Amino acid sequence: MSAGPHAGGRRLSRDASGLRHLRWAREVLATLEAHVEHNPALADADREALRGEARALGAAVQALSGAVKPYRDFLERTRVRYRGRVRVAEHLVRGSDAGGADEAARARLEEALAELAAMEEAQRRPLKEALSAEIDRLREAMARMDARLAERLSAELVESLYPPLTDDASRVADDGDPDDDAAASPR
């Protein structure tokens, strides 16, 4: 098991995807809730403080989820159609180059690339900006949560909230599920 995200300042990389931030935050939320339900060493006031933090983090997780879903849907539905069209146009250009330059194929490629660029600007950029803002809000909320909890609970308990990360801190390490893209051993 990893030393945790706070040992040496180790946290999920800000460059990690929204989906990976969502997984990370859900892991922390689940641990907060597990402390409330299963940690007999907690005083009632500490248990109540953790409940409050869980409610606040739960709201931040929901907000992030609300930004992740439209972005993922866009990537997996809309963007792939445009990328597929570009690949077909590239294929047609390569085929025409073998038998002589085909200006129509080159024009189709230019058109497909232009439509991809326009779609990226019109659709992807606003979704990505909204997602990035929610990631920042989540990270700020978690930092504030850590500071509040550190005032009343041990550093070890605060550190216990965070799951181990992969060596590059890009995702939660999860050797228990080989189908999970986070299946990797922590450092």
Q: What is the CATH number of the domain that holds 125?
A: 1.20.120
pLDDT at res. 63: 98
pLDDT at res. 24: 97
Domain presence at residue 135: yes
Structural domains counted in the chain? 1
**Average pLDDT of the chain?**
89
67-126 residue pLDDT tens: 999 999 999 999 999 999 999 999 999 887 665 558 889 999 999 999 999 999 999 999
Angle, in degrees to the nearest 10, between helices 125-152 and 18-38: 30
* Residue 179 binned pLDDT confidence (cut-offs 50, 70, 90): low
Output 85-88 pairs: Cβ under 8 A, ≥24 positions apart: 85/112, 85/115, 85/116, 86/112, 86/113, 86/116, 88/112
Average the pLDDT over 61-69 and give the result: 98
Domain presence at residue 90: yes
In this predicted structure, the answer to whether residue 160 has a pLDDT above a threshold of 90 is yes
Containing structural domain, residue 132: 7-160
Structure-block tokens of residue 113: 């690339």
* Residue 29 binned pLDDT confidence (cut-offs 50, 70, 90): very high
* Residue 66 binned pLDDT confidence (cut-offs 50, 70, 90): very high
Domain presence at residue 175: no
In this predicted structure, the answer to whether residue 6 has a pLDDT above a threshold of 60 is no
In this predicted structure, the answer to whether residue 5 has a pLDDT above a threshold of 70 is no
Domain presence at residue 103: yes
* Residue 176 binned pLDDT confidence (cut-offs 50, 70, 90): confident
* Cα 33 to the center of its chain, rounded Å: 21
Domain presence at residue 82: yes
pLDDT at res. 180: 63
* Residue reference for tokens 């590239």: 90
Q: How far apart are CA 177 and CA 148, in angstroms?
A: 33
Per cent of the chain over pLDDT 70 is 86
Q: CA-based angle 150:153:155, to the nearest 5?
A: 60
Q: Could you say which DSSP state residue 164 is in?
A: P
Domain presence at residue 119: yes
* Residue 98 CB neighbour total at 10 angstroms: 6
Domain presence at residue 181: no
pLDDT at res. 101: 59
pLDDT at res. 175: 75
* Contact indicator for 39, 3 with CB cutoff of 8 Å: no
What's phi and psi for 111, nearest 5 deg? Answer: -65, -45
Domain presence at residue 70: yes
